[in-house]
Amino acid sequence: MLVACTSDIHVDISEKNWRAMQLLVKVLNELDPDVFIFAGDVSPEVRHVEGFLKELSSLKMPRLFVCGNHDIWVSKCQQNRGYNSYVKYYRDMRELCERYSFLFGKEPNHHFGHSFCRDHWLV
């Protein structure tokens, strides 16, 4: 089984990081792994995470998104309005993963002949 994994693209930091994401898609298409795992830290902005997942949704292999601390971070202002990391993770990130066909979930799942339990693949 060929597993491709990367993390910490931080697209909110620089336009160069968005371009790196486009290169990532090209490399993954050439590599054609059995599964791709992104191990977190796209951006604290939901719109950036959505753009990232949308860009990678064209990949044909199963894709797993594991949220990093930056992905579920919320500002003090947002917290004062009742929005928190729990809501962001369990509602927003889950919905985005479902929308763009990324594996996500707190319960064990079975996909493409492999089992996924939180952040672990079981072959």
Stretch 79-94: mean pLDDT: 94
How confident is residue 123, by pLDDT bands cut at 50, 70 and 90?
very low
* 16 pLDDT above the threshold of 80: yes
State the average pLDDT for the chain: 88
Q: pLDDT exceeding 90 applies to what percent of the chain?
A: 71
CA–CA dist 64, 83 (Å, integer): 25
Domains for the chain: give ranges and CATH numbers. 3-122 (3.60.21.10)
Query: Residue 29: CB partners within 8 Å, gap ≥ 6?
Result: 59
Count CB atoms within 10 A of the CB of residue 52: 24
